Structure 1
Amino acid sequence: MNKILLSLLFTVSLFGAELNWIHNYNKGLALAKKEHKDVYLFIGADACRYCKKFKETTLSKKYVMNKLNADFVPIYLSRDQHKIPDKFERYGAPRHYFLTSDGKIYDEDVGYMSPKRFLSLLKEVKSFK
């Protein structure tokens, strides 16, 4: 079973090697409606060491990028650079929100996650809908 999983991850990692981040909440929702996808909203901060670690060790993995791009419209908002709607917490970064295309929050989490844990979370939140 492990060999099959590793083989699948290797195959998936060959395609789609970057995240298509949107840095505007309303534009991200509009794209999600158009593409019939949910939204992954990542709220971070410029000087947040755990945000940086999450980006470098988790979001840099091709299989994580592929899963995010396939199932979600990814939005990244820095509390230091972008307008963050009031309904979202700005502190305690990194923050992870999973939304419908009309902005309804159906799951949220906080903190750094390893690639394995984050991938597990992505699969879990899809089952909530």
Structure 2
Amino acid sequence: MAAVAETRMTVVLSSHVVSDLTDTCDWLVVLNRGHVQISGEVDELLAAHRMLTGPAELADGIAARIPVISDNRSGRQAVLLARTGTGTPSHDPRWRASCVSLEELVLAYLRHPDATALPRPALTTT
């Protein structure tokens, strides 16, 4: 790997073990059901996603404003993994935003194949 770093060579590493990728990769591509689901620089992807924890009764309002990748509700609390851009989506003090790990990000996308961080291609008919 030292030679790779010195020459700025590109290496493609494929793994099902996300922990192997954490300190190794600077670009992530997640393939799910044969399609690219998410792709981008790891630091940018992590910065653009937040784990939001707050009142379950307000979760639908958050989901209406920003893309929610995963939504877990138990009783009165909701935990949302959301693509927030680089900011925090809610100034409501009842919501807490925390950083997302690479493993949380990858697993959330894999569990929700319809979620994507890529624009969907336009379908054309002939």
TM-score exceeds 0.5: no
Structure ranking higher in helix proportion: 1
Question: More relative contact order in 1 or in 2 (CA 8 Å, sep 6+)?
Answer: 1
The two structures have a TM-score, normalised by structure 1, of: 0.31
User: Which of the two has greater strand per residue?
Assistant: 2
Q: Which has the larger radius of gyration?
A: 2
When normalised by structure 2's length, the TM-score is 0.31
